[in-house]
Structure 1
């Protein structure tokens, strides 16, 4: 014991001890329920207890318990057996881990999962692990109520707490009058564990005790081994350790090895326990005495397990969990795969049982020192690792069997090889990979890559892959899906079976419409700056303006990367009308900037902004918008929005007119997302496990959209309407069914390809981005599909700079970013083609037909007609030789076309290339090219008959692009 000042000792002798109401002296000294919440410092809730008495108290087998403020149902966290609290010693019990907070608790003495209220509740210390009952139980060793709403248990409750305050017992835990409001104050949480400095409540200085750390050890029978136990003393040096052989002597062969004493107060003393090779298998409990230089002693007991070799397949067993869970084992195997925190090893022979795995993971927590191919022996404890939360059924039912705390690792030989077991996934039953957990296998394919964070495109394939079967989370969320995975031991060779396309692979129609979720395209950034270089800026959300409301790019550097990808996306679509989702809701500023970028690349005036509706754009941070090509379309009236309360992002409609007079309207939509569920599980918008959160709201939005459609048709006069956007609903879900079930609205994308997709979530693909049309328009839709440039692409390609390497000193993943359309968003854009041409037909006589300035289909019919397209992309249709004799006055090669499909069929002409076969000819004349028909082509004797004249056009300008055969 260290010498204390005399004046202090005299004062202590006359100090009155604190009053204690707890019969044992052990009390609850601190309560904190705000851990992991917004604004919290610590990441977890915690309960701290304290021995305010003058004698050691055995608290092993006790529990701390929690109930809500007025509740009578109690949750428990047990204190492990064997725990003794010395006078003045604290003990820290960690509880629920939250998503917030920035600081870890000190190392907890025990850990539970109770989610405590940050403001009001009840905490009890109980002399058993049996749950209490009632809202104010009287059998607890100590009980604390906090928050004005709480049922009083000891006097009146502690005042209401919050995310940054804890209830702290006065006198550092020493005050206990059985009145919570008098005994406790509130303040910043200050958790203390059993290693914290002791606090004397009696006034007598405390001589800090020796604290042994004597974990159980294990060795293998037939092999000499050993392990270490330790002890420390905060105010003295531990300088000796000796056997305690009364009443139970140590077994022969288990002896004390080397001892290294502490060199200073607070240092660690280490005693090696040796186990001879001839010690018989079994479990032996031995005791050890520790001494220090102040004549103090302490003792500890621990178990020495001497085991025979347990084969890996016996450790694994034939179920999801090991039959030896918690047992110490010694085993051997060949290392097959080394990871950064452990390694896989496998029995080289196996037991021949298809239900048991011959491989296992050894968790080292740090980089292991073994190498692949080494045959090793080790001892450790069998454990089951759940990569998710305790309540996650996807992972809790399929934990990963592993050996933890490996000791005595010996390399028996090197250069060994394990032959992979071939596994056919096509014939494997559900969860069949459990029998191969930890084993080296070859999975035969072809195997298809799903959505991932690595530079491999989803949909690409490999013929086979060799590696070790592992199990883990499919997402970054501990509540997400768990899936079996393979850790390759050989580099796989990927085939690009899902190739990228530079542009949408579509053709036809004369109006192209697209929908693009541009993934939080903001010109104001989360760092408070904007694209103009101004600082101190913010984004609008509801009634607030703050940089915390901003989404998307964090700074101008990221925005430059984001906008390059977004421009590549939209210019690749090259649509005449584009509906935009997730663009900043700041008037026309952001959408106009995007148009400026597009016009800088595609040519001045290519795009213009559809003006924002007078009804506004809602109060969300993001809105929907629309851009169009003024050279192709004319706005028909003003835009319209639906400001109904159910729409947090108001649908946006605009009618258009084509140069040939055709009229149609587009409504851009962004329905409520599937995330951020309501707090009440009884809400109709709670997650139903199938359609996500807020499904009821999306259904109401769909009902309102049908009403808005009627308004748009009546206001604009356009009966043909396209409803597009991010509906946050798959095609078979309630909101889309609400829109389409009566047939008045049709899913055009599903009409062409029911299996099309636009989004991937947790590896499952589906289509949230739709192109719906009114029933009368469906016949004019020539294509509707998704352009797969985003959902299939790995997220590492996106514009974000976090966790990517920029420079030789940086750490992270390589930067695979390119200024291309790929992974410009997380949603694939939708593209649709409409055939809105105007049809004109002549009589059986001589006609003069003049088309519109737009796209026309002109069919002169029998008789020598004078035909003029008059601008646009025109089609001149011929059905038989009776239509011969026409003059087309303004044919534009490469733009206009001659449609000869019916004519050639009427003559029985079948040719892959009628121009090359001579069935269609071109003869020059002073007035222009004469197009002729030769019924038997160059191979027969028939002569060419003239069909029509292209006034002012040379035959050299006429090629296959001028025809539709």
Structure 2
């Protein structure tokens, strides 16, 4: 059941009914008390005490309840209804979704009976590993009366949501939790599942992932759970998944959904049915939204480097190509928020015709347009270096040929050009008069290695600042695509994408060791979109044998993030440094939050800046 808004939503009205559902409207006065009528099967019998209905695949007849929400948009049209006579088992939900496939002819407050087939629908398909939604399909709906009181919403708050996220999956079922008895007082995922389809409410919730283009946001019902200084909820380990996170959508008009930033508050009550979606798991689909109370969050600005400091930055500009309208905004961010770093490693620079699959691989127009915009914004006249990839060999958006690019300020730093680097030639390290040097600059690290199959190859270059050589390696490791979600039915979820990043980290670590073998005190900066956390095995392999150290760990734990996803502020972008940089005097690191916390972001990544004295 896709969760994305596809059309503007209007008032809930009775509409024409297609063959997917039969509706009988009963208007007799004698039916005024029909909300209390019983059937042979109740909703809690359908939901059962596990994630899979004990009646899955079976027909049910005249299941009673009151409509609590109606979804009239997208491919998952239908309604939620809830029993007014609950049982005394906290594990069995009293609400369920009825999939009609067309605009349902019911309204909130209608007392109905529903007959149909109990099914388990897996958003995203069974291969996604997602949990399923219990629903009634191919329904026959009888409306008994209208205007009935909606069952009181169940509170979802810091007291009701357990502190442990999920149970351990059953090894006999491949790690699935589907067959386990729900323990809603022990596990957050069990608690949410025990409310699937029911009317729930959350009060005064703080936004922890800004409103996205699909009119969704994430809030937390646990205001102090791993809170950052700016109001985010920080993801600090695989064992601490932040149980208070809850996705919020709306059953109202998409145009009326608030443009919220991290730290804003939905003041008052937000209430509606609890759904489960492919794009975030348990979701409060609100027919009542709290009033947005802005938190006043502002974009950060880092300090300017001093005369003797070299400033090196990394910035993922999210599939930038000449057709985009974000060049001026990116330029302003680099000049004003990053204070014009001496070296900027850019990720996701696309070729000159963007995603058009034309065989074009060069990015002169793309980079040239950005350089011009930076100068127009009052920044330096940056020069740049890069290596164009082979067509469609580096992953990313098909036809886009994304790559890393070095910008550098020639008034502050020089680039050591050394011929020989191309898309397929591996750069090497030699030792000349006791100093390490690259065989090609710019160059690519081991591009034929299987670790880089359909992925970006690292770009390395030699820079000179105040007479000292600095080696910079720009990276964009393989994405997390294909990993199971935190809310997966498999616990712990599988992170299959790690395999390639582990190989990539090993290749980069080996290359850095070659530089350090040639020159023990070489200044090496490895940076970019690593697509993995500072506590991950990927980072450990980059740091192996002390060759590198991730500078984001110099920040307090509640300030370590560069990206926001499904309510978790997390680290994907990193700057790692060799021992000579780490132990140098007075270096500093800053994750500059200009994108990840804002609904009007120009990239989904925050840039980082390292300043040190080579």
Q: Identify the TM-score tier after normalising by the shorter chain.
A: 0.5 to 0.7
Q: CA distance change for structure 1 residues 498 and 776 in 2, over 3 Å: closer, same or farther?
A: farther
Superposed CA offset, 1:758-813 (max 9, x none)? 2345655532321122222223354213222333445xx4xxxxxxxxxxxxxxxx
Residue equivalent to 1:403: 136
> Shift in Å at residue 696 of structure 1?
4.5
Please state if 1:641 is matched with 2:443: yes
Other structure's SS at 1:436 match = coil
| Structure 1 position 830 matched with structure 2 position 608 | yes
> Which position in structure 1 is the counterpart of 2:433?
none
- Whichever of the two has the greater Rg, that structure is 1
Q: Does 1:331 find its partner at 2:63?
A: yes
Could you tell me the TM-score, scaled by structure 1's length?
0.42
Change (3 A) 1:332 1:739: closer
3-state SS in 1 of match to 2:326: helix
Aligned residue number for residue 358 of structure 1: 94
- How far apart in 2 are the matches of 1:737 and 1:723? 14
User: Which residue, 366, 377, 381 being the options, matches 1:607?
Assistant: 381
Partner of residue 316, structure 2: 517
Task: Identify the match of residue 592 of structure 2 among 772, 781, 787.
Answer: 787
Residue 300 of structure 1 is matched in structure 2 by none
Decide whether aligned partners of structure 1 residues 491 and 578 sit closer, same or farther in structure 2, where only a CA change above 3 A counts.
same
Aligned twin of 1:429: 186
Contact 1:674 1:694 in 2 (8 A): no
Deviation (angstroms), 1:575: 1.5
2:80 & 2:133 partners in 1: Cα distance?
12
User: Does structure 1 residue 669 correspond to structure 2 residue 474?
Assistant: yes
Q: Which residue of 2 aligns with 1:748?
A: 551
2:282 corresponds to: 484
Matched, 1:701 2:502: no
1:394-416 CA distance string (max 9 Å, x none): 32xxx322233333522324252
1:569 maps to which residue?
A: 333
Distance 2:316 2:514 in 1: 22
Contact 1:673 1:693 in 2 (8 A): no
Contact kept, 8 Å, 1:669 with 1:727, in 2: the verdict is no
Change (3 A) 1:790 1:339: same
Distance 1:671 1:374, change over 3 A: closer
- Deviations 1:581-631, CA, capped at 9 Å, x for gaps: 22235265532332122112215xx1321445xxx5553433322122233
- How much has 1:356 moved relative to structure 2? 2.2
TM-score normalized by the length of structure 2: 0.64
Q: Report the secondary structure of 1:356's partner residue.
A: coil
SS at match of 1:314: helix
Q: What is the CA–CA distance in structure 1 between the aligned matches of 2:382 and 2:50, rounded to whole Å? A: 64
Q: Deviations over 1:36-88 (max 9, x none)?
A: xxxxxxxxxxxxxxxxxxxxxxxxxxxxxxxxxxxxxxxxxxxxxxxxxxxxx
For residue 666 of structure 1, report the CA deviation from its aligned partner: 4.3
Q: Is the 8 A contact 1:702 1:736 kept in 2?
A: no
The answer as to 2:79 corresponding to 1:343 is yes
Match of 1:590 among 366, 386, 389: 366
Whole-Å separation in 1 of the counterparts to 2:133 and 2:458:
48
CA displacement, residues 379-408 of structure 1 (integer Å, 9 cap, x when unaligned): 33333322232344332xxx3222333335
Correspondent of 1:318 among 49, 52, 58: 49
C-alpha contact (below 8 Å) 2:525/2:578 kept by paired residues: yes
Q: Per the alignment, do residues 487 and 217 of structure 1 end up closer, same or farther by CA in structure 2, a change over 3 Å counting?
A: closer
Unaligned segments of structure 1, at least 5 residues: 1-213, 226-276, 278-306, 476-482, 524-555, 678-686, 798-821, 837-965
Instruction: Give the whole-Å Cα distance in 2 for the aligned partners of 1:709 and 1:725.
Output: 19
CA contact (8 A) 1:618 1:650 kept: no
- Paired with 1:587 and 1:609, the residues of 2 have a C-alpha distance of 14
Distance of aligned partners of 1:831 and 1:218 in 2 relative to their CA distance in 1, 3 Å threshold: closer
Aligned to 1:240: none
Q: What is the distance in 1 between the residues matched to 2:209 and 2:46?
A: 33
CA contact (8 A) 1:617 1:641 kept: no
Are positions 1:579 and 2:359 aligned together?
Answer: no
**Aligned-CA RMSD value:** 3.9
Q: Which residue of 1 aligns with 2:404?
A: 624
State the SS of the aligned residue for 1:586.
coil
Q: How far apart, in 2, do the equivalents of 1:408 and 1:484 lie?
A: 26
3-state SS of the aligned residue for 1:394?
coil
Say if 1:835 and 1:670 are closer, same or farther in 2 by CA, change over 3 A: closer
1:684-714 Cα offsets, whole Å, 9 max, x none, are xxx9735534134313422343145348959
Cross-structure match for 1:159: none
Secondary structure in structure 1 of the residue aligned to 2:192:
helix
In structure 2, relative to structure 1, the CA distance for the partners of 1:784 and 1:665 (3 Å cut) is: same
Higher percent of residues as strand: 1
SS of 1:694's equivalent in the other structure is: helix
**Partner in structure 2 of residue 228 of structure 1:** none
Q: Residues 522 and 668 from structure 1, CA distance in 2 versus in 1: closer, same or farther, beyond 3 angstroms? A: farther
- With a CA cutoff of 8 Å and minimum separation of 6, indicate the structure with the bigger relative contact order: 2
Would the aligned equivalents of 1:358 and 1:438 in 2 still touch at CA under 8 Å?
A: yes
Paired residues, number: 450
Q: What's 2:261 paired with? A: 457
In structure 2, distance between residues paired with 1:433 and 1:386: 16
Distance 1:703 1:493, change over 3 A: same
| Aligned counterparts of 2:146 and 2:369: Cα–Cα separation in 1 | 67
Does the 8 A contact of 1:758 with 1:788 survive in 2?
yes
Deviation (angstroms), 1:368: 1.6
